[in-house]
């Protein structure tokens, strides 16, 4: 498969036309296109253009409302809720962002609880922009039941990612974004497509037996949490914060079987934002940098986010890397 390059804004505009043509509002198309193009640019392979067929089939199935108008609720001094109206989570975040920022600046901390929402993307784009404004942000989203809790027998949790962003003096923000499963579901799909074998301990087959075959995981099998009971506890926390606290569905609660082609988890998302300047500590971004330097001195040369930022810098120079067939597919969708 040969790779080509496309200018970032050109990719955003192409994706925007794809979403518009497939039933989203202009506002949703704008937000999802930039989100998906950013993931492609940063080499978040399982959550860039790879996701477009899933977005389109979920829209066509009627499972998600691409024209939903998010409803923002001012619940308490530090609490913003957004009902995404069975639409995507990112436009809901966009809709509530202004009020959230007002509350963060006023109180030093605030959260946004998004419910009735679908998140089919990488999570880092939801937090990195806050760190660029000097804030600390933590986001959690639950997905679809495909992860067996530690010691359990059947899938219950989603792949439930957690993403964290902190400002760092003189550098891009320090950001991590990780599924609480041993591997993201999207990466299992990619491994299956490429005929790859997974490491031990990632998943089980339909009989609950350990397997390294990604296709057997997809064919009625399940994933395992990362780090045994520790990852399982984090995944449980994500269910509670992203679903119970927001009013969204747990990963095991929604039933999409009546919507053939549905792909997007109908759950919730929680975002907590802190203004470190309102606290008693010294300059937080300087402290982040001190910690990172200590990590480097201790031998950890590669920090979370480094690979993405490197890919981003390369894309800024050369254009966003994309498979030629994928680009032709996108162009075909709008012609
Ligand atoms: P990875 O395991 O690839 O990476 C997790 C984090 O660890 C990243 O921040 C990464 O930085 C960092 N990292 C990777 N390797 C190293 C290393 N050697 N040293 C230090 N840091 C490292 O991600 P996952 O497979 O867990 O998740 C992939 C994506 O899937 C995420 O974007 C996630 O949000 C998404 N996802 C979305 C879901 C949804 O419901 N919307 C559900 C599950 C997953 P870097 O980025 O620089 O590589
Ligand atoms: O890769 O696990 C995943 C995933 C689930 C929902 C969106 N991405």
Q: Please report, for the chain, the start and end positions of each structural domain, with discontinuous segments joined by +.
A: 1-61+305-335, 69-181+227-303, 182-224
Separation of alpha carbons 162 and 178, rounded Å: 6
d(CA 217, CA 221): 4
Tokens for 23? 């039933």
Reported confidence tier of residue 310, pLDDT bands at 50, 70, 90: very high
Please tell me the distance between residue 186's alpha carbon and the centre of ligand 2 in angstroms.
5
State the Cα torsion 322-328-331-332 to the nearest 10°: -150
227 pLDDT exceeds 80? yes
* CB of 48 sitting under 6 A from ligand 2: no
What is the Cα–Cα distance from 185 to 121, expressed in whole angstroms?
Answer: 12
Are the C-beta atoms of residues 223 and 182 closer than 8 Å to each other?
yes
Pocket probe mutation, ligand 1, options 50, 142, 299, 304, max atoms within 8 Å of Cβ: 304
Computed over every residue of the chain, the mean pLDDT equals 97
CA-nearest of 30, 9, 29, 10 to 20 is 29
- According to the model, what pLDDT value does residue 273 have? 98
Does 4 score more than 80 pLDDT? yes
CATH of 1-61+305-335, one of 3.40.50.740, 3.10.310.30, 1.10.1530.10, 1.10.940.10: 1.10.1530.10
**Closest ligand to the CA of 139:** 1
Cα 124 to ligand 1 centre (Å): 9
For range 226-244, the mean pLDDT: 98
Ligand 2 contact, 178 CB (< 6 A): no
Residue 166 in 3-state DSSP? strand
156 to 24, 122, 142, 147, 236: CA distances (angstroms): 31, 21, 11, 6, 10
Token pair, residue 21, equals 């043509």
Asked if residue 83 has pLDDT above 90, the reply is: yes
User: What average pLDDT does this structure show over 53-82?
Assistant: 98
CATH topology of domain 69-181+227-303: Ribosomal Protein S8; Chain: A, domain 1 (3.30.1370)
Continuous segment of H or E residues that includes residue 178: strand 171-178
Place of tokens 């679809």: 144
Give me the pLDDT at residue 64, please: 98
Residue 131: which region, alpha, beta or left (left: phi > 0; alpha: psi -120 to 50)? alpha
Tell me: pLDDT of 281 over 90.
no
Q: What is the pLDDT of residue 157?
A: 98
Q: What is the CA radius of gyration of the chain?
A: 20
Mean pLDDT, rounded, for 3-21: 98
Q: Could you give the residue ranges of the DSSP H alpha helices within 134-277?
A: 185-193, 214-218, 229-238
Q: Please state the pTM of the whole predicted model.
A: 0.98
* Ligand 1 atom showing the smallest separation from residue 309 Cα: 47
Per-residue HEC secondary structure of 211-250 comes to ECCHHHHHCCCEECECCCHHHHHHHHHHHHHHHHCCCCCC
Helical pair 124-131 and 89-107, crossing angle rounded to 10 deg: 30
Counting every residue, how long is the chain?
Answer: 335
Strand order in the sheet with 222-223: 210-211, 203-204, 222-223
Ligand 2 atom closest to 188 (CA):
1
Q: How confident is the model at residue 306 (pLDDT cuts 50, 70, 90)?
A: very high
| Sequence-ordered strand ranges (E) for 18-97 | 71-76, 79-88
Q: Residue 280 — pLDDT band, cuts 50, 70, 90?
A: confident
Q: What is the pLDDT of residue 242?
A: 99
Judged on CB neighbours under 10 Å (0-12, 13-18, 19+), 286 is: middle
Q: Is the pLDDT of residue 1 over 80?
A: no
Express each pLDDT in 257-275 by its tens digit. Answer: 999 999 999 999 999 999 9
Q: Could you give the 3-state DSSP secondary structure of residue 269?
A: strand
Q: Find all residues with CB under 8 Å of 313, minimum gap 6, and list them.
A: none
- pLDDT at position 282, please? 75
Name the CATH superfamily for 182-224.
Hypothetical oxidoreductase yiak; domain 3 (3.30.60.50)
Among protein residues, the one whose CA lies closest to atom 22 of ligand 1: 304
Residues in CB range of 91: below 8 A, 6 or more apart: 27, 28, 31, 32, 68, 70, 84
Span of 70-79, 90-99, 272-281 with lowest mean pLDDT = 272-281
Residue-wise pLDDT for 101-150, tens only, equals 999 999 999 999 999 999 999 999 999 999 999 999 999 999 999 999 99
Distance from Cα 77 to the centre of ligand 2, integer Å: 32
Non-local (6+) Cβ contacts of 317 within 8 A are none
CA dihedral for 245, 84, 176, 225, sign (positive or negative):
positive
């Amino acid at each position: 498969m040969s790779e080509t390059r496309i200018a970032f804004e050109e990719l955003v505009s192409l994706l925007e036309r794809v979403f518009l043509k497939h039933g989203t509002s202009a506002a949703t198309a704008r937000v999802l296109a930039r989100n998906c193009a950013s993931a492609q640019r940063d080499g978040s392979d399982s959550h860039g253009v790879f996701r477009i067929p899933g977005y389109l089939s979920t829209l066509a199935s009627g499972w998600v409302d691409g024209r939903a108008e998010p409803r923002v609720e001012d619940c308490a001094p530090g609490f913003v809720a957004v009902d995404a109206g069975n639409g995507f989570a990112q436009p809901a975040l966009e809709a509530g962002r202004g009020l959230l920022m007002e509350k963060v600046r006023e109180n030093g901390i605030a959260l946004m609880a998004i419910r009735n929402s679908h998140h089919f993307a990488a999570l880092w784009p939801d937090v990195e922009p806050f760190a660029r404004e000097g804030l600390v942000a933590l986001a959690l989203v639950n997905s679809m039941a495909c992860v067996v809790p530690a010691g359990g027998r059947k899938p219950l949790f989603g792949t439930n990612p957690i993403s964290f962003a902190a400002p760092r003096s003189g550098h891009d923000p320090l950001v991590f974004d990780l599924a609480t499963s041993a591997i993201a579901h999207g990466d299992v799909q990619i491994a299956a497509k490429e005929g790859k074998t997974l490491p031990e301990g990632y998943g089980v087959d339909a009989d609950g037996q350990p397997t390294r075959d990604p296709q057997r995981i997809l064919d009625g099998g399940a994933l395992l949490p990362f780090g045994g009971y520790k990852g399982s506890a984090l995944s449980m926390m994500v269910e509670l914060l992203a679903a119970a606290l927001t009013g969204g569905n747990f990963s095991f609660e929604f039933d999409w079987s009546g919507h053939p082609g549905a792909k997007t988890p109908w759950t919730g998302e929680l975002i907590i934002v802190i203004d470190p300047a309102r606290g008693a500590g010294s300059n937080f971004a300087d402290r982040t940098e001190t910690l990172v330097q200590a990590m480097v001195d201790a031998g950890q040369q590669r920090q979370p986010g480094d690979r993405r930022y490197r890919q981003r810098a390369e894309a800024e120079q050369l254009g966003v890397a994309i498979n030629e067939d994928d680009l032709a597919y996108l162009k075909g969708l709008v012609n």
